[in-house]
């Protein structure tokens, strides 16, 4: 697997964890997230709403990103990745053909459909791929493309 892909993905996860620690510290210390020049009661309400919204966003990010990334660590250490060969049944949104973009698309092999996240050039419906990917985050690498 591309080391850059894994390092950049897990680097983002570490940043999210640090933001969560900062958020929890601010909430537990009952400190303001922002200071604005309005009445005290309005500033208090703004901070309460921001804390709730940011808390919900961080919970969703951890459920969708951090927990699967932690589950994938043993697979990365053992280099034990799943493989799928099949046809792309969706195309990516980026129109550039640069192969360093992370692209998300669905591969279909028989009845199995997997949404993978790989670094490759532009993907169109019908392109054939063989991809090795992690089981929880579906972060992977292209082995063969035709």
Q: Nearest-CA neighbor of 9 among 65, 63, 59?
A: 65
Closest CA to 33 of 12, 57, 52: 52
Q: Tally the domains of the chain.
A: 2
Statement to judge: residues 74 and 8 lie in one domain: yes
Q: Residue 45 region, left (φ>0) first, then alpha (ψ -120 to 50), else beta?
A: alpha
Confidence of residue 73 (pLDDT cuts 50, 70, 90): very high
Looking at 27, 54, 78, the residue that finishes a domain is: 78
User: For 81-130, how does the pLDDT look when each residue is reduced to its tens digit (9 = 90+)?
Assistant: 999 999 999 877 766 666 667 888 889 988 889 989 888 888 888 889 99
CA distance 88 to 115: 10
Residue given tokens 């697979």 in the structure block: 75
pLDDT of residue 104: 83
Q: Are residue 63 and residue 15 in the same domain, yes or no? A: yes
Task: For residue 17, give its domain range.
Answer: 3-78
In this predicted model, what pLDDT tens digit does every residue of 11-61 receive, in sequence order?
A: 999 999 999 998 888 888 888 777 776 666 787 888 888 889 999 999 999
Beta bridge partners of 9: none
Domain C-terminal end among 21, 47, 78: 78
Residues 72 and 86 in one domain: no
Helix (H) or strand (E) holding 119, with range, is: strand 112-119
Q: Both tokens of residue 138? A: 């579906």
Tell me the pTM: 0.74
For residues 69 and 14, membership in a common domain is answered with: yes
**Residue carrying structure tokens 């804390």:** 51
Whether 16 and 133 have beta carbons less than 8 Å apart is answered as no
Mean pLDDT across 59-72: 92
- Residue where a domain terminates, one of 78, 105, 129: 78
Separation of alpha carbons 57 and 47, rounded Å: 15
Asked if 86 and 62 sit in the same domain, the reply is no
């Amino acid at each position: 697997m591309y080391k850059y892909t894994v390092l950049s993905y897990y680097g983002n996860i570490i940043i999210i964890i640090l933001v969560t620690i900062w958020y929890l510290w601010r909430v537990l210390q009952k400190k303001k997230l922002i200071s604005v020049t309005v009445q005290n009661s309005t500033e208090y309400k703004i901070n309460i709403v921001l804390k709730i919204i940011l808390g919900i966003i961080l919970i969703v990010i951890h459920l969708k990103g951090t927990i699967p990334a932690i589950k994938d660590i043993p697979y990365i250490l053992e280099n034990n990745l799943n493989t799928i060969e099949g046809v792309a049944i969706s195309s990516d949104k980026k129109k550039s053909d640069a192969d360093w973009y992370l692209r998300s698309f669905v591969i279909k092999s028989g009845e199995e459909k997997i949404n993978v996240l790989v670094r490759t050039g532009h993907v169109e419906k019908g392109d054939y791929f063989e991809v090795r990917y992690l089981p929880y985050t579906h972060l992977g690498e292209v082995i063969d493309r035709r």
